Amino acid sequence: MTSQANSPTSHSHLEYMRQALDLAQKSPPKPTNYRVGALLVDAKTNSILASGYTLECEGNTHAEQCCFIKLAEAHGIPEESLADILPEQTVLYTTVEPCFKRLSGNLPCVERILRLGKAINTVYVGVKEPEKFVGENTGRKQLEDAGIKVVLVGGMEKEILEVATAGHKTGDI
């Protein structure tokens, strides 16, 4: 994982991460998941294509999954066809790195990203996934092996973890 987003647009990376964190706060606190916010962004035009947060859509949905569901519904296509309509420079911002394993049996977010091919070329994350539920997240390696950059946007880790773990027992990170 690239350690920091240090490009001239680092300020906009923090702005997008703040927006994603605002979304995460809409997610209901539960002891069994992280409250995460995500944005799909056209990096060429700096426009938000979709947003989502944990449990926003029906079922046990993750933030990234909600972005994909909402965008697919808006275009009247199945989620796995999103690669056909996503702009060339689409990036994903997510407060916590995408999951590689789902205990619920749902398709992991890493697999959702990978099945879109190179439609998403960079994933910006606020924090690495804590190892509480599924152990070490190997999804970042899977994304990088597929040619998708994973970049840590530093500076908000404490805030993100406070929001992500709301509803967990004290000391459970």
CATH no. for 10-161: 3.40.140.10
* Residue 64 bears catalytic tag: yes
Q: Quick one: pLDDT at residue 131?
A: 62
Task: Calculate helix-pair angle for 10-24, 157-164, nearest 10 degrees.
Answer: 20
Q: Which of 29-33, 73-77, 103-107, 157-161 has the lowest mean pLDDT?
A: 103-107
Average pLDDT over residues 79-104: 92
**Amino acid found at 50:** A
Q: How confident is the model at residue 91 (pLDDT cuts 50, 70, 90)?
A: very high
Beta-strand ranges (E) seen in the chain are 37-42, 47-53, 90-96, 120-127, 149-152
* Number of other residues whose CB lies within 10 A of the CB of residue 58: 8
With 70 as the cut, is the pLDDT of residue 2 above it? no
Catalytic residue among 64, 80, 136, 157: 64
What is the distance between the alpha carbons of residues 21 and 85, in angstroms, rounded to a whole number? Answer: 26
Q: How far is CA 105 from CA 100, 101, 147, in A?
A: 12, 8, 26
With 60 as the cut, is the pLDDT of residue 9 above it? no
Name the more confident of 140 and 26.
Answer: 26
Mean pLDDT value across the chain: 87
Q: Whole-model pTM?
A: 0.88
Tokens describing residue 57: 């859509």
% of the chain surpassing 70 pLDDT: 86
% of the chain surpassing 90 pLDDT: 68
Tokens describing residue 101: 């394993």
Helix (H, G, I), strand (E, B) or coil at 139: helix
Please give the full DSSP string across 106-140, using - where no structure is assigned: SPPHHHHHHTTTTSEEEEEEEEPPPSTTTSS--HH
Q: Quick one: pLDDT at residue 40?
A: 97
- Locate the domains of the chain by residue range: 10-161
Residues 154, 53, 123, CA angle at the centre, nearest 5°? Answer: 40
Average pLDDT over residues 7-36: 85
Q: How confident is the model at residue 170 (pLDDT cuts 50, 70, 90)?
A: low
